[in-house]
Structure 1
Amino acid sequence: MTDPMIVSVPANDIDSLSLQLNTGSLRVQEQIIPQLADLGNEGLDVLMEFLLKRRDTPATWVDGKAYQVLHKSDAPKVQEFLQNNFPEGIVPLKSECGINYNPLQQLLAIQDFQAADLATIQKMCELAGPTAVQRKWLYFTDVDNFPAIDLQTINTLWLVHSEGKFGFSVQREIWLGLGKKWDDFWSKIGWKNGNNWTRYPHEFTWDLNAPKGHLPLSNQLRGVRVIASLFAHPVWSKNLEK
């Protein structure tokens, strides 16, 4: 159903599309971005101007959607624009421990969610230290010591590049909304169907058709304690609570 707030304009009316992109609701912006993507260089120019205006404000999933369109383009001027203004991507890659989150951002920008999920676990193991890197999975006690800024960076990357559908904060909000009932939570996010756990990797949905909160998996195969520690981390009350 078309959003009633979207004014019907000719598909090639760049000025009208630009106005709606810059002043419309999230729903409007969501629909305008692919229209601009279909208009070639003129549409790309509008998206570049849009991101440039918002560069000094925290990135949202709308910025991520616009960035992804530009990231796919092989136009030299677009690639130059991204290199000059967003060399590491749309989300600032802050880390207290010097962790390089650029590979994760690049995977999420092309929406390779399965590879991004693996990269997320790898980066979290890096945060936990050499022993965790070697064993390739986490203890719940590792999570307790994660710097808030790093956990926020990982979460923001997932939020921004998934239209707000994926991320630890999304999962936590769903869990809280279900009264912290784990069985209801597993079913809601598609990790369990009845008594059957979703089998990795083929039964998971690695695209935006997945249920909200489906990703990242956060050590899903090793029980509840890691994700419980993630949800209990102080980063959410400090930075990410709505």
Structure 2
Amino acid sequence: MGVSYKTAWRWWKQGRLMGEQLQNGSIWIDESMCPEQDTDGLKEQLKIAAQEREELRNLLYEVLAQLQELQGTPEPNPWPSEVGMDYSHLVALLGAGSSQEANEYTWLLLLALAGYEEGDTLGLEEMEALPRTDMETIDWLWYEYSEGRFGFGVQEWIWEECDRHYEVFCDRIGWRIQSKWLSTNQLRFSLSAPVGHLPAIIWRNRACYGLGYHSPEEVLETLFSFSIPSPQSGRVV
């Protein structure tokens, strides 16, 4: 068997070569002295290695795809919104017991949901067009952080209890005391306020005033159409 000088030299250094150089320069060796070559076994090992390499590459692609998906996907909003509104500030205010700031911020949220800015007013038509999911979220947050005392749903329940009589309703929730309407700075922004006292957003300067040219009754009916029905049990009136 003829081999190259390089191969012959390596085998000779290892003491595994016995042979002679032919006249044409090639080296002839006894094949029985050559290292054993398991060609089939080598091919099988190469095949297995190729399969493992392919599996590792596919696994790498999967990991990279998952990382890209995680990096490109924003954290889910814990408070449902049809327009992507962030309610974390309202949650912070309510959680801290800052009811007055939360009351004012709720009004600003309604303006933002209607596409308006601070200082603008809302008419009945704009209120009717507010996204229901967001209104329900605001209602739920007030209800949750007041231990069931405040929220549009609570006010709606009292409204029905008062047979939709506006003055009786305002007396019941503390917007009117001894036939005198309260101004905004006279409201009670605490959990000790009457049930349904907050949020108070159907007026801007004085309690129990309607918005625009619409009556308070119309505004309340529109506002309550967004509320989440809640069980009456557990409420203290």
Q: TM-score, normalised by structure 1?
A: 0.57
Identity over aligned residues, as a percent?
Answer: 32
The one-letter code of the counterpart of 1:105 is V
- Residue of structure 2 equivalent to 1:205: 188
Shift in Å at residue 136 of structure 1?
3.5
- Residue of structure 2 equivalent to 1:159: 143
- Residue of structure 1 equivalent to 2:164: 180
Shift in Å at residue 241 of structure 1?
5.0
Determine which of 180, 199, 206 is the counterpart of 1:216: 199
**CA 1:157–1:116: 2 relative to 1, 3 Å:** same
The one-letter code of the counterpart of 2:156 is R
Confirm or deny: 8 A CA contact 1:138 1:219 kept in the other structure: no
Summarize the alignment of residues 215-234 of structure 1 with structure 2, pairs less than 5 Å apart.
Answer: 215-220=198-203, 221=206, 222-223=209-210, 224=216, 225-231=218-224, 233=225
* Structure 2 unaligned regions, length at least 5: 1-74, 211-215, 232-237
For residues 228 and 138 of structure 1, the distance between their equivalents in structure 2, rounded to whole angstroms, comes to: 15
Determine which of 116, 119, 131 is the counterpart of 1:147: 131
1:2-32 CA-partner distances (Å, limit 9, x unpaired):
xxxxxxxxxxxxxxxxxxxxxxxxxxxxxxx
1:147-167 CA-partner distances (Å, limit 9, x unpaired):
111011000110010011000
1:180-204 CA-partner distances (Å, limit 9, x unpaired):
1111000000001133111111x11
Confirm or deny: 8 A CA contact 1:218 1:226 kept in the other structure: no
The one-letter code of the counterpart of 1:226 is V
2:109 is the counterpart of 1:123: yes
The one-letter code of the counterpart of 1:124 is L
> C-alpha root-mean-square deviation of aligned residues, in Å?
2.0
Determine which of 97, 101, 111 is the counterpart of 2:97: 111
Shift in Å at residue 146 of structure 1?
1.4
Question: Which structure has greater helix proportion?
Answer: 1
Count how many residue pairs are aligned between Structure 1 and Structure 2: 147
For residues 191 and 184 of structure 1, the distance between their equivalents in structure 2, rounded to whole angstroms, comes to: 10
Q: Which stretches of structure 1, 4 residues or more, deviate above 2 A after TM superposition?
A: 134-137, 219-222, 225-228, 239-242
The one-letter code of the counterpart of 1:108 is L
- Residue of structure 1 equivalent to 2:13: none
Q: TM-score, normalised by structure 2?
A: 0.58
Based on CA coordinates, which of the two structures has the bigger radius of gyration?
Answer: 2
Confirm or deny: 8 A CA contact 1:122 1:136 kept in the other structure: no
* Structure 1 unaligned regions, length at least 5: 1-86
